[in-house]
Amino acid sequence: MNNDFCVLFCTASVDESEKIARILIEEKLAACVNITEVNSYL
């Protein structure tokens, strides 16, 4: 059985993303965090 999973957060700013990433890593709740900019056009 595969227990891998992915969690996606959408935040308002890169600063907010970096704060969340730092906490997740420090608390050992994530092994890796990727931050990327998304541009959506509707």
Largest CA distance in the chain: 39
Q: How far is CA 29 from CA 17, 21, 24, 34, in A?
A: 15, 10, 5, 14
Question: 13-42 pLDDT, tens per residue?
Answer: 889 999 999 999 999 999 999 998 888 899
Is the confidence at residue 6, as pLDDT, over 80? yes
pTM for the full predicted model? 0.71
